[in-house]
Structure 1
């Protein structure tokens, strides 16, 4: 049970016990009527039942009926009405107080003190009920927040694992292609050249006229092997510019205004999936400059440290101040959070600024990399 709920339950139980002890003291200081004792026993039994179980709300009518029957014999039974009135307010069932109102209309309530006591119990029951509802709502919100954080962490782990698996599969595919090319072309030609060399050696020893022809075949096969080897090496180089060079080319291709590009740190340490986030972040930042700023210069700075990579984009224009992110930035913020990073931005009369910070060292990354 939650600590706050336990406190409310304990407070309710304490109120019930104190009230029973109060009635018992009144009975002992009075004429000790047997009807009063029976009323106290009935109310005590109902208190125990409500403490141990969760009876229906209509059971407060039992308390009221017992008090109504005893009022003619023991006037202090009016104070006994405090407990069912408290329970009615606690259950949020005001209609259960109608019997009390009918009795009050038939018999005069003994004193102002009794009226005050009844109203106090009604207010106390209502206060505890509202507090309980508030605590439950807060607990639901807290549970929902915990669930959202759990789902976000799970999404983060899944995305990291998918990124690493994608990079691993791309690397594995490229290795397979290179091995296949080497086997199908270079290996075949080298095997043929080896056999031709053995034939040439035998013909050379025999001073056979075909030795010259065989030597020419060996030379051609070796040339073909070198050619295929060069093509294979050339094909391992991607036609698409990656990493910081790709970001630099995006800056060079930007036409709206001048862009100054600067990079610091060892960019070779940045994994592929990080570049897959930095590239759309830079494009989105430059797009926002074009749409919302009258800048004539943009500064782009990439800083790679031991643990993080930081991309900072700022311009010298004037933009309308806003704290709401557009769809593009919100999507990028989700991607950044999925890998443990963050994207912040600001727009004011001093221009547009965007900062993307992504971690290079993560337990998720290392664990997934070891699995791969």
Structure 2
């Protein structure tokens, strides 16, 4: 809905009501041609104002028409209320005072006209401030929506950047391992192979013994380098499904049963971080707000998505609304184009579904 769409109908209604009042006064008067011309001119101005966006000072047109027709159609004084209303809805309500003075000078005893004009300026001023507040509110909402969309865009860019950094780090590590194996391990193994081949062709026992010693040295050095390389590849912390198993193991004294299906190697690091946070939050909520004796954790990985289901058999749930932790996780799930749902109808159930991200080669 536009800013003043709701008030626009009210403004049209008030304008038409004012014209109808003038038409009623014309029927009560003895004026024929001048009165109907005056009302038709006001109707034309009102139609132009509704159809087109004209200047805020357009109320001067009604003011001039009213002043021009007062000598021929006395009830044109009531038309000044139209000018007062049009001035009020654009913030020029102070024009009520000079126009009112004009009315008093023309008809000093017409209190109905004065009260009618006073009511008109009140309605017009109220409409003006209401429309102004609506404009400000919509402007604020638009700014909030813009900031929200900008934040979502930044989050997606950060996720893409994180994925690119992860990919670059992975490629860098592959190159390092490849260079390590080629420059050192491959060189020593090739040298050992050549020494063995030379040993088969040597008749001198002393030379053969020297070749064997060289093979031993190269193989020993290769074994040491291979062991060091494998040691450097071993993660210092648990990741992936092993991390989830460690969280479950640390959940004592809660009894948590964990099982998983599918190829967990297809799950990205971002998804593992999300699943880990979900499992921690769920176990925390179970320990704080549930009287469960058993909690089941199921991890299913398919070709297109990964689903984490956490369900306990508790019958008491003091926390009936989602806290800031769950709401934050739901936002993170939507950022990853997934979902996170909570159900408390039968125990505490948390289900997190995330799409599998195709690796970019």
Provide TM-score, normalisation by structure 1. 0.72
Alignment-derived partner of residue 216 in structure 1: 213
**What SS is found at the alignment partner of 2:88?**
helix
- Report the count of equivalent residues: 353
Alignment-derived partner of residue 254 in structure 1: 251
**What SS is found at the alignment partner of 2:308?**
strand
CA distance in 2, matches of 1:193, 1:238: 31
Give the C-alpha shift of residue 276 in structure 1. Answer: 1.3
CA distance in 2, matches of 1:260, 1:108: 92
CA distance in 1, matches of 2:91, 2:71: 29
Give the C-alpha shift of residue 275 in structure 1. Answer: 0.5
CA distance in 2, matches of 1:208, 1:265: 58
Give the C-alpha shift of residue 278 in structure 1. Answer: 0.8
Higher mean C-alpha displacement, 260-269 vs 127-136:
127-136
Alignment-derived partner of residue 322 in structure 1: 320
CA distance in 1, matches of 2:278, 2:129: 48
CA distance in 1, matches of 2:122, 2:197: 109
* Residues 226-241 of structure 1: pairs in structure 2 closer than 5 A: 226-233=223-230, 235-241=232-238
Q: Structure 1 residues 94 and 250, CA, compared in 2 at 3 Å: closer, same or farther? A: same
Q: Structure 1 residues 83 and 162, CA, compared in 2 at 3 Å: closer, same or farther? A: same
After superposition, the CA RMSD in angstroms is 4.7
**What SS is found at the alignment partner of 1:300?**
strand
CA distance in 2, matches of 1:141, 1:305: 44
CA distance in 2, matches of 1:148, 1:305: 36
* Residues 1-372 of structure 1: pairs in structure 2 closer than 5 A: 8=8, 30=31, 51=52, 53-56=54-57, 60=59, 63-64=62-63, 67-68=66-67, 70-106=69-105, 107=107, 129=128, 132-133=131-132, 136=135, 139-140=138-139, 143-144=142-143, 146-193=145-192, 196=195, 200=199, 203-204=202-203, 207=204, 209-233=206-230, 235-317=232-314, 318-326=316-324, 328-345=325-342, 351-360=347-356, 365=357, 370=360
**What SS is found at the alignment partner of 1:168?**
helix
User: Structure 1: which 5+ runs fail to align?
Assistant: none
Which whole-Å deviations, capped at 9, do the CAs of 1:311-338 have from their partners, x for residues lacking one?
2223333231331413x33433332222
Give the C-alpha shift of residue 125 in structure 1. Answer: 5.0
Which whole-Å deviations, capped at 9, do the CAs of 1:109-145 have from their partners, x for residues lacking one?
8797x78986897688568647744763564366346
CA distance in 1, matches of 2:213, 2:277: 55
Q: Structure 1 residues 276 and 43, CA, compared in 2 at 3 Å: closer, same or farther? A: closer
User: Structure 2: which 5+ runs fail to align?
Assistant: none
